[in-house]
Structure 1
Amino acid sequence: MIARILSLLCFLALTQPAFATCSGNDLRPTLGPDERASLDAALANAPFADGNHWKATRGHATLHLIGTMHLADPRLDAPVRRLTPTVESADLLLLEMTSEDELALQSRLTTDPSLLLMADTTLPELLSDTQWDQMTEALNARGVPPFMAARFQPWYVSILLAIPPCASQDDLAGGGLDARIEEIAKTNGIPSAALEDVETIFAAFSDQSRQTQIDMMLSSLVDPAINEDLFATMLASYFDEAPAEGWAMSTILAERYSPVTSDAAAAIFATMERALLIDRNRAWIPVLIEATETHDTVVAAFGAAHLPGKDGVLALLQAEGFTLERLPF
């Protein structure tokens, strides 16, 4: 799963008023024997592999952990109804980024886009003619003029390419589970705070070497139809409450479809798993624990991929003495 800030960044770059509705296919049934074995092995070693809503308790502390997706989808209506009483009972809501932070970031990026731009070179200079032609076609399909994207940081372009051309601006901006949970909290006068500084997600990408960023960008150059299927597969795993499967499927399908070698695709995924998930998960644990020490009931809502695995938020909290219980989502 990508963070809420990434959907905002994609939204800021899109200039078309709308795109066609996505209708990709869930690729999970298409796994070959080797791919299925890889998936089974990944899930066998992933604690807390299933579930989008968990309760962690330690002493008098109660912490609800809700795995979110950051895109609008009508299938979220039922989970929102079920989760509303949980949110309404909270004393504090923790998010990856609050709406106030999002507005401040949007204002900053529109007036000072230096976070997203290269000052020393351009993409056409970094790529071969063939690669830039492919990039131009992919960017045009997403309503991003290549002349505007020529100075984008390669990591940012990789995010733009991860979103299929069929995705609408409504999908990318607002209406995700994070935003809907935050709206419930606001309506009930429940304060919200961020789990991390807004700069954290930028650093996770920008701290990567230029070559790693280029590799990330090139690995995202897949056929639009395949891109749409990847998107559909990610969403299907999410609504099946299978976050570990969703992340593992992304890894397997990247190796299947990415134009770079399978070894390179696996290396890219491992690098970004460390930067986007593992390192951030570990940084969030003290924030979550501190919140439970000053509030009776805390709800924390963040991308579902942060929940499972030995380096996931749930396992890290268990190691801190919390008892975990899966609840309805």
Structure 2
Amino acid sequence: MLLTACGTAEPGPEARPAMWMVADADTKIYILGTMHAVPRGTDWDAGRVTSAIEAADELMMELSPAELAAAGETFRQLAQRDAPLAIEARLSGKALTGFRALEASGRSFGEDGLDDWAVMVLMGQRVAQNAGLSSADGVETGLTEKFEAAGKPIGGFETAREQLMLFETLDLQTQRILLTRAAEEAGDAVKEVGALTAAWGRGDVAALETVINEDIDSVPAARKAILTDRNRRWSAWVKRRMERPGTVLMAVGAGHLVGADGVPAMVEAEGLTVMRVQ
């Protein structure tokens, strides 16, 4: 979910991510599934996305630009352990081997002084880098540039602290399970991220749902905190926002938009009509 990596002018792949629309007589909300980091130079903003960007009066993302800028410092504040704990005391066997191999692909994670969830986040960033993904080319970065250039307002559903506290407040057993799974699967992670990115680029929501479910279904506490509860809050926001006129582009991680507890399904369950428009 937290993928970061820098851009290039080289032409990149074409992506047509899934997008939905909720509309009534005087209000339209486009709901676009994003990837926070994508292959460098990816062309993701053509097709119906261009029309949605031009039509929208405002942009809503998981984090506003100011909160995104604050995320690094907030991470450093929350990630620290009260007392150091060696990774060998947390992982063993295949998990420890996978962790060490991933760490060897770049600088040390400094994991002894970090909470389990924070180590997992840094591992995810390293996988993204190794997969050639770029946050500078990510959807949120591009949308921010376009809306700021047009002088249109940009809002966020959460603060950086609220978002990271979703991990910080997970019980220690759940954090350890997530870290162990990430380490055990580190050897295949670049390939899996590539498959996830390709499915996003095709707008293949069935494939996305399969990948998301395989990744998190075995950890119910994490699914509830990181996906389901947030989707419910965002769906409630859509319903309230439909009471005011205007056109909004809502852009959140594609994993939040698939399946029975994805935002489109939850909005539809509230009695609103949701149309897939890309």
Deviations 1:196-242 (A, max 9, x none): 23223222212211122111111112365412211111112112212
In the alignment, which residue of structure 1 is the partner of 2:196?
A: 234
In the alignment, which residue of structure 2 is the partner of 1:299?
A: 249
Structure 1 unpaired stretches of 5+:
12-16, 19-50, 255-264
Secondary structure, aligned partner of 2:46: helix
Secondary structure, aligned partner of 1:195: strand
Q: Which whole-Å CA distance do the structure 2 matches of 1:216 and 1:108 have between them?
A: 21
Task: Classify 1:212/1:166 alpha carbon distance in 2 versus 1 (closer, same or farther; 3 Å).
Answer: closer
Task: Classify 1:53/1:131 alpha carbon distance in 2 versus 1 (closer, same or farther; 3 Å).
Answer: closer
From 181, 201, 204, the equivalent of 2:143 is 181
Amino acid at match of 1:179: T
Deviations 1:280-312 (A, max 9, x none): 001112323333334411110011111122211
Task: Classify 1:295/1:7 alpha carbon distance in 2 versus 1 (closer, same or farther; 3 Å).
Answer: farther
Corresponding position: 1:116 with 2:79: yes
Structure 2 unpaired stretches of 5+:
8-16
Q: Which whole-Å CA distance do the structure 1 matches of 2:118 and 2:134 have between them?
A: 15
In the alignment, which residue of structure 1 is the partner of 2:13?
A: none
Corresponding position: 1:127 with 2:123: no
Amino acid at match of 1:54: W
Q: Is the 8 A contact 1:68 1:303 kept in 2?
A: yes
Corresponding position: 1:155 with 2:120: no
Secondary structure, aligned partner of 1:221: helix
Offset, 1:107:
4.3
- Structure having the higher strand fraction is 2
Corresponding position: 1:327 with 2:255: no
Matched ranges for 1:43-122 at <5 A: 52-74=18-40, 76-77=42-43, 79-82=44-47, 83-109=49-75, 113-122=76-85
Normalised to the residue count of structure 1, the TM-score between the two structures is 0.72
In the alignment, which residue of structure 2 is the partner of 1:47?
A: none
Task: Classify 1:226/1:216 alpha carbon distance in 2 versus 1 (closer, same or farther; 3 Å).
Answer: same
From 213, 222, 225, the equivalent of 2:175 is 213
Q: Is the 8 A contact 1:58 1:321 kept in 2?
A: no
Q: Which whole-Å CA distance do the structure 2 matches of 1:188 and 1:155 have between them?
A: 38
Q: Which moved more, 1:154-163 or 1:295-304?
A: 154-163
From 144, 156, 160, the equivalent of 1:194 is 156
Task: Classify 1:65/1:104 alpha carbon distance in 2 versus 1 (closer, same or farther; 3 Å).
Answer: same
Q: Is the 8 A contact 2:95 2:183 kept in 1?
A: no
Corresponding position: 1:138 with 2:101: yes
Q: Which whole-Å CA distance do the structure 1 matches of 2:241 and 2:105 have between them?
A: 40
Q: Which whole-Å CA distance do the structure 2 matches of 1:304 and 1:177 have between them?
A: 11
In the alignment, which residue of structure 2 is the partner of 1:29?
A: none
**Percent identity, aligned pairs only?**
22
What number of residue pairs does the alignment pair up?
Answer: 269
Q: Is the 8 A contact 2:95 2:181 kept in 1?
A: no
Q: Is the 8 A contact 1:72 1:171 kept in 2?
A: yes
Deviations 1:117-161 (A, max 9, x none): 111342447426768953662352342415x22111111222333
In the alignment, which residue of structure 1 is the partner of 2:218?
A: 267
Secondary structure, aligned partner of 1:62: strand
Offset, 1:80:
0.6
Secondary structure, aligned partner of 1:118: coil
Moved over 4 A (4+): 128-133, 163-166
Deviations 1:236-265 (A, max 9, x none): 21122123422323544x5xxxxxxxxxx8
- Report the aligned-residue RMSD: 3.0
